[in-house]
Structure 1
């Protein structure tokens, strides 16, 4: 499960081409399914058309990036009638007012949880009317309808309120990072194969931007060639993704 803010802003990386296809701009919700059907990708230029990725085409959503098999999975918005219809429905969820089945306004939604394997909305973070801080998470079982202006919940949703998105659901294992040694994984695991390809792709490329760790240690300078040692240091300092996005031939 991921919160929407953990998805928006992620770079979209194609596994086959080892290329950055853009950043996630927003989530496109299917109100009838109560799920995220598409991710809107930022325009390549101000005059360019919006692009998107269908949720079933996502290989994985990690801490640092979202992966797809090939860059062709990032398509033009105009090519999807379904996505255009959802845009016209304009169901944003976050910021939408909450109403009980009996017609009582009880607050607004401040965040949503999204199942990474299906796109299903697992719950909505609830800020009660007249308050500024969230009071808990309303699980999807207590949500009756997602609408453009209101989200309707059961009258007794507070009896089933969760303290957080992770409460009552399984916790994902901690992310694994690529090692500095030669990769030996096969294509049977797309994410591991992506790490293998990316590491081979990086070695010998020129750094285009100074990469500095949070503690001030310089990891790489512009013009330097990427080495195994540089990659290892970037991994330890949580700067691996920044390094991969700032190199050239």
Structure 2
């Protein structure tokens, strides 16, 4: 799990050429897939166009550099229809306001976590440096240009940064360049959780299905039926249930 600030500005190295081809300038977000689609390359010697590396062609995101197999991984975004569409949407995530489905304002996103193996966005950090809170991706309905819309009201979806890191620590990222990116990045973390242990506990916040319909209200007891419902809705919803289980 990484934050964007750990990657921005780092050199991009071609493994076969053994040279630096540029630096990480920014990211192109796919809001529907909730992931980083392209890494934009900065190279002052290039005359025109926006050059980028598809995230799936990244070999590694190291402490010093981002590595790719060769310069052939760098493409001109003008040649890719989906890239033009994503660029026009201009989804940045950082700097957007968090608004609940019912119209409550929770704050502003300062940073976000993503899976270095897939580019999948995992959670968003609020602009509160003294008391860092994270909004898990499972609570997000829409990543918009100006506003991130979430399903719950008030501060219920938020968890501490420390708790979020602990909950996600079960992720074992595969090689970034591997094709097996269809697996949900939170799946291994959920596999390590015994959700049956949550039965009998209470919810610290309301739980909604992907359509925004209430599954169980805040303060409700977690039942075997609710656990099974969450599992059936996928890894993200199962993790959300675990995050909202009161100790």
TM-score by length of 1: 0.63
| Post-superposition offset of 1:134 | 5.3
- Tell me, what secondary structure is at the counterpart of 1:167? helix
**Contact 1:37 / 1:55 at 8 angstroms: preserved in 2?**
yes
Other-structure match for 1:245? none
Q: Deviations over 1:109-150 (max 9, x none)?
A: 0001111111110000013xxx67553011111111111121
Partner SS for 1:64: coil
CA drift at 1:157? 7.1
Give the one of 155, 159, 176 matched to 1:158. Answer: 155
Structure 1 partner of 2:4: 4
What residue number does 1:211 align with?
Answer: none
Are the aligned partners of 1:162 and 1:168 in contact in 2 as well (CA < 8 Å)? no
How many residues end up aligned between the 2 structures? 171
CA gap 1:46/1:57 in 2 versus in 1, 3 angstroms: closer
Match of 1:17 in 2: 17
Matched, 1:29 2:29: yes
SS in 1 for 2:165: coil
Shift of 1:98: 0.7
Aligned-CA RMSD value: 2.2
Q: Which runs of 5+ in 1 are unaligned?
A: 174-189, 191-249
User: Which residue number corresponds to residue 51 of structure 2?
Assistant: 51
Q: Check conservation: 1:21, 1:71, Cα contact below 8 A.
A: yes
Counterpart CA distance in 1 for 2:159 and 2:33 is: 22
Distance 1:10 1:30, change over 3 A: same
TM-score (ref. length: structure 2): 0.64
CA distance in 1, matches of 2:105, 2:29: 22
User: Which residue in the other structure is 2:183 paired with?
Assistant: none
Tell me: CA distance 1:47–1:71, structure 2 relative to 1, closer, same or farther (3 Å). Answer: closer
Q: Deviations along 1:158-192, whole A, 9 cap, x unmatched?
A: 3443322523112789xxxxxxxxxxxxxxxx9xx
> Is 1:145 aligned to residue 160 of structure 2?
no
Q: Is the 8 A contact 2:2 2:116 kept in 1?
A: yes
Aligned pairs (5 A) from 1:201-216? none
**Any stretches of 5+ residues in structure 2 without a counterpart?**
178-247
* Shift in CA distance, 104/79, structure 1 to aligned 2, threshold 3 Å: same
Which residue of the partner structure matches residue 227 of structure 1? none
- Report the CA distance between 1:46 and its aligned residue: 6.9
SS of 1:158's equivalent? coil
Q: What is residue 75 of structure 1 aligned with on the other side?
A: 75
**CA 1:172–1:101: 2 relative to 1, 3 Å:** closer
The equivalent residue for 1:104 is 104
Match of 1:120 in 2: 120
How far apart in 2 are the matches of 1:23 and 1:92? 19
